[in-house]
Amino acid sequence: MNTVIASPYPYPLPAKDSGSRVALVIIDMQRDFVEPGGFGAALGNKVEHLQKIVPTVAQLLKTFRELGLPVIHTREGHRPDLSDCPPAKKRRGDSTLRIGDPGPMGRILVLGEPGNDIVPVLRPEAGELVIDKPGKGAFYATNLQERLKELSITHLVFTGVTTEVCVQTSMREANDRGFECLLVEDGTESYFPEFKQATVGMIQSQGGIVGWVTTADRLIASLRQAYTGSTS
């Protein structure tokens, strides 16, 4: 069996041609969260924390594409009429910058606005799944579970932002649905480094209560070994 060096113990990869597949999940790498001049920055967050993972996620994306492995992108956003935004969610946060309000990159967290786009270097390619989600978790009010089943995906590798909010929520939802979940520590970030560290710790605690944690280099080497027979 091919495994990835991970914590709390090696992560098992599905065997080639086993009928079971591993997919990369890239959570919410949206311009509004990641780029200077977006919604996240307007709230006073340090987007530099998030920007530093972009090359790592790009490297993972390239590897999955080269190996012909599935990729799933998510975007947090709401319909323009906000009919899918619970009033409690809209009421939260900074009173001058709420969901649906005009922001620096278009209406905040509204589908189709420039700020809702994925950063150019990670832009989805034709054939890749793009899940628009109104919640923090990627399974809530989406068809993700059905799509994963159709594609025979049983193993999910999580990257993206922010670690303690949408990444962790999605990973917990996936874990509860029986997916084998792996978090790439250097492929996820938070505006708050201490929240990231706490999340990485809690995911792998108690024998992997939510899943496993690894690094991009380790994952890439194992994927190449498992699916091409070579690490280069």
Determine if 159 is a binding residue for ligand C5J (CB under 6 A).
Answer: no
Determine if 76 is a binding residue for ligand C5J (CB under 6 A).
Answer: yes
Of 53-61, 82-90, 139-147, 161-169, the segment contacting ligand C5J by CB under 6 A is 161-169
172 burial (CB, 10 Å; 0-12 / 13-18 / 19+) is middle
Q: Smallest distance, Å, CB 1 to ligand C5J?
A: 33
3 prior amide bond cis, ω within 30: no
Task: Establish whether 117 is a catalytic residue.
Answer: no
Q: Smallest distance, Å, CB 27 to ligand C5J?
A: 6
- Which residue carries 């098992």 as its tokens? 12
In the stretch 21-40, what mask flags binding to ligand C5J with x, by CB under 6 A?
Answer: -------x----x-------
Q: Smallest distance, Å, CB 17 to ligand C5J?
A: 35
Parallel, antiparallel or unpaired: strands 71-76 and 129-133: parallel
Residue closer to ligand C5J, measured from CB, 47 or 165: 165
Residue closer to ligand C5J, measured from CB, 4 or 29: 29
> 45: which residues sit within 8 A by CB, 6+ positions away?
191
Question: What are the b/e assignments for 140-150, b being 16+ CB within 10 Å?
Answer: eebebeeebee
- Which residue carries 């201490």 as its tokens? 194
Give me the DSSP letters along 25-68. Answer: EEE--BHHHHSTTSHHHHTT--THHHHTTHHHHHHHHHHHHHTT
Give the amino acid at 167.
V
Task: Establish whether 133 is a catalytic residue.
Answer: yes
Of the candidates 32, 117, 133, 136, the residue annotated as catalytic is: 133
Residue closer to ligand C5J, measured from CB, 33 or 212: 33
Residue closer to ligand C5J, measured from CB, 165 or 216: 165
Determine if 166 is a binding residue for ligand C5J (CB under 6 A).
Answer: yes
Q: Smallest distance, Å, CB 222 to ligand C5J?
A: 27
Q: Smallest distance, Å, CB 10 to ligand C5J?
A: 28
Reduce the DSSP state of residue 206 to 3 states and report it.
helix
Determine if 180 is a binding residue for ligand C5J (CB under 6 A).
Answer: no
Please, are residues 8 and 207 in contact by the beta-carbon 8 Å criterion? yes
For ligand C5J, the binding residues (CB under 6 A) are: 28, 33, 76, 161-162, 165-166
Residues acting as catalytic residues: 28, 133, 166
